Amino acid sequence: MRLLPLCLVLLLFLAACGGQPAGADPDPTPDPIIEPDPDPEPQPDAGRIVIASHVDGERIVGDRSITFAGSVEGLTEPVSVTLTQNGAPVEVTFDGEAFAAELELQLNANRLVVTATGEGASTATAELTLEYPFADLETFQSGSLVIGQPDLESGDSGLGPGSLFGAEGATSIHQGRLYVPDFHNNRVLVFEGLPSANGAEAIFAMGQPDLYSNSRGTSATTLARPSGMASHGERLLVLEDSNSRVLIWNEPPTGPDSPADVVVGQPGFDARAWECDAAHLYLPKSLSVAGGRLVVADTSNHRVLIWNEVPRENGVLPDLVLGQATFDTCEPNDDDQNGSMDGGPTARTLDNPTGVWTDGVKLAVADRANNRVLIWSEFPTESFTPADIVLGQPDMTSRWAGVGPDRMQNPVGVTSNGNQLFVSDLDNYRVLVWNGFPDAARDADVVLGQASLEAREYVGDADPQRLTTPFGLYFHDGKLLVSDRRNNRIVVFE
């Protein structure tokens, strides 16, 4: 007689017990049978809106009239489309698939919301913001805000969290914080954003151990006469006049002890030499960063230096030089490059270039001692490239100072938002404004600091409408920030 396998015996036993192991509760009810719903509720379509003409955050330069267009996908017909601009409805055409609207952009921010509605109230929405940067300024208007003084009628120098001594360099806003070069106090004041009231106080000072010190230094944490600011992605750049260098922080400093990561213009953080070569700067006054490029006004070497990439290591040499043919010649207005100054300027020479601005496509230089601003309509790719536009002079070989809508006297600062050009005309005590970036020589449209484009009145005391020594310029969110050096203040115009 053969024995059944043990597993077979166990199966027979479980079957005799109702299929449940000993001690287990039997399942009294079978699994329910789920019948399909003969009339299910309709589900919303998975629709989407595709914007074809623009991208979120795009800055529009030039004509304010644009065609805004896109398409609707995935919604069941009939479909309707609506569009709002800063909350106001805008007429839009729609052919069942593609939509378009002719828009007149408002100054600065334009919030656009597109909504498509299909059958059964199914919807799709797309939102984006287009920027049309512009400062709506009028001749001789008053400043709206002052930094470094308790009010717009004060101009004393000082030391502390809310005071300045020789506000010369252009300011900068980086990751929400405002950075203000405090020239003679050898520091950069850091504010939590652009102040909303006069007399704001900084949260800390770069270059000093506290807000009441102002000693010069040459190290990774100290400064000597900072003359300009710029930013590039996460990185913050500080230009120094006396140390003749650019300091670069790879991340924004968190306090006065945050050291710079990179130095340009000197071989190391403890070096301070003024030379005419590719490795050094000589009393630089301005810098600009755009399109990945670094541009520096190497003022006392009478040249502009260009790095095609913002350096990440110490001592990186520039790629191009303007105003000179080589990195070893540094005389003003030396077109023949014989090592001595010629009788006058040309389209490719410079004499004390003090202000620079670029958007990565165009380049503008305030050529101080030649009393003009030079513009390169296309960014230079070779050294000693001549400019193609001159402002402030009738031609490329003139340099006489003057006053009026087409003349200048020691221009030192230049900036642009792409739609306007701003120039600090130092010894005419004014800022000139061109509405529309100049594509040829033409008169300025607006003047700040003077009652008219023909006026040249010096007023030594601080005043809401007057500028004594306008220097660095910075545009942000519809506002122009003017560094008024002798009045020890930053004046905001909007």
State CA 192 to chain mean position distance: 17
Q: Rg for the chain (alpha carbons), in Å? A: 32
pLDDT the model gives residue 13:
42
pLDDT the model gives residue 39:
54
Can you tell me the distance from the alpha carbon of 146 to that of 166, in angstroms, rounded to the nearest whole number?
14
Can you tell me the distance from the alpha carbon of 138 to that of 433, in angstroms, rounded to the nearest whole number?
9
Can you tell me the distance from the alpha carbon of 410 to that of 240, in angstroms, rounded to the nearest whole number?
21
State CA 213 to chain mean position distance: 30
> What residue has token string 């609207």?
101
What is the block-wise mean pLDDT of the chain (494 residues), using blocks of 10 residues? 42 43 46 52 70 97 96 94 98 96 96 95 94 97 99 98 98 98 99 98 99 98 98 97 99 97 98 97 98 98 99 98 99 97 97 99 99 99 99 98 98 98 99 98 99 97 97 98 98 98
DSSP assignment string, 213-231 = ------SSS--SSEEEEEE
Can you tell me the distance from the alpha carbon of 198 to that of 491, in angstroms, rounded to the nearest whole number?
10
Class of domain 145-493: mainly beta
Can you tell me the distance from the alpha carbon of 418 to that of 131, in angstroms, rounded to the nearest whole number?
11
Sign of CA dihedral 277, 263, 213, 354: positive
State CA 17 to chain mean position distance: 82
Q: Hey, is 297 helix, strand or coil?
A: strand
**What CATH architecture is 48-132?**
Sandwich (2.60)
224 within 8 A of 217, measured Cβ to Cβ: yes
Say what the pTM is: 0.89
324 within 8 A of 385, measured Cβ to Cβ: no
Q: Which residues contact 463 (CB under 8 A, 6 or more apart)?
A: 152, 153
pLDDT the model gives residue 9:
39
The segment(s) of the chain belonging to CATH 2.120.10.30 are 145-493
E strand intervals along 92-160: 93-94, 98-104, 108-117, 123-132, 145-147
DSSP assignment string, 317-380 = PPSEEEBSSSTT---TT-TT-SSS--SS--TTB-SSEEEEEE-SS-EEEEEGGGTEEEEESS--
Tokens of 58: 């795009």
pLDDT the model gives residue 439:
96
Other beta carbons within 10 Å of 446:
20
Longest alpha-carbon distance in the chain: 129
DSSP-assigned beta bridge partners for residue 297: 286, 304
The segment(s) of the chain belonging to CATH 2.60.40.10 are 48-132
Q: Which amino acid is residue 325, in one-letter code?
A: A
Q: Which amino acid is residue 298, in one-letter code?
A: D
State CA 215 to chain mean position distance: 30
pLDDT the model gives residue 11:
41
